[in-house]
Chain A
Amino acid sequence: GAGVSQTPSNKVTEKGKYVELRCDPISGHTALYWYRQSLGQGPEFLIYFQGTGAADDSGLPNDRFFAVRPEGSVSTLKIQRTERGDSAVYLCASSKSWNTEAFFGQGTRLTVV
């Protein structure tokens, strides 16, 4: 595709439910990043994939958060037992390689009620 695509654009879920957020990167980009952004703040790193493997997951806040990228393209961020504090915009970005600029999607706004 022309750019990074994220679905859904908005997700409202009840506390305790499980959610999946999808990211479709730019074709041919091997590096994929997930970030979380709260209102008025800069993006906060969650996890980075190089190909199919998670090269750095040090930003995941706890074991309720998990991400996969099974074929080295589309990635899914999974959040179990959602809490109200998980409410934020989840951003996905991809880059040609790990040391070049990253291009972001529009984000998924997650609201936990």
Chain B
Amino acid sequence: EDQVTQSPEALRLQEGESSSLNCSYTVSGLRGLFWYRQDPGKGPEFLFTLYSAGEEKEKERLKATLTKKESFLHITAPKPEDSATYLCAVQGQGQNFVFGPGTRLSVLP
């Protein structure tokens, strides 16, 4: 059974304080790993897709990396508007996406 865990559960940063969020996964035949951002009361917003170990993707202050067992979402010099829940999901041999519980990020001004 495909499984995804995320750590930490919650993270509080000062504006400008860089950090990383972790997504650990167990999947039979990874087809893709996906990062989403979710604001309160909204649906998840797509950020990145990673397909193979060693792959990296960047967007503004965010950078996602992938190994065979985990993915990291690095946040460089975060701003208060980066505050959200960050969700990680994997797609294995099944065609659905299996989500982790998310990391709630708060960036204080």
- B interface residues, Cβ below 8 angstroms from A: 4, 31-32, 34, 36, 41-46, 49, 87, 89, 91, 94-102
Contact A45 B32 (CB under 8 A): no
In the complex, chain A residues 36-50 whose Cβ is within 8 Å of any chain B Cβ: 40-45, 48, 50
A-B pair number, CB within 8 angstroms: 63
Contact A106 B31 (CB under 8 A): no
Q: State the Cβ distance, B81 to closest chain A Cβ, in Å.
A: 19
B99's contact among A42, A48, A99, by CB below 8 Å, is which?
A: A42
Give the residue name and chain of the B residue nearest to A6 (CB).
B43
In the complex, chain A residues 68-113 whose Cβ is within 8 Å of any chain B Cβ: 91, 93, 98-107
Q: State the Cβ distance, A102 to closest chain B Cβ, in Å.
A: 6
CB neighbours of B41 from chain A (8 A): 106
CA gap between A15 and B49 in the complex, in Å: 40
B100's contact among A42, A93, A102, by CB below 8 Å, is which?
A: A42
Contact B95 A56 (CB under 8 A): yes
Contact B87 A43 (CB under 8 A): yes
Contact A102 B95 (CB under 8 A): no
Contact A56 B96 (CB under 8 A): yes
Q: State the Cβ distance, B49 to closest chain A Cβ, in Å.
A: 5
CB neighbours of A41 from chain B (8 A): 101-102
CB neighbours of B96 from chain A (8 A): 33, 45, 48, 56, 59
Whether A106 contacts B42 in the complex (CB less than 8 A), given A42-B100, A99-B31, A99-B32, comes out as yes
- With an 8 A cutoff between CB atoms, is A55 at the interface? yes
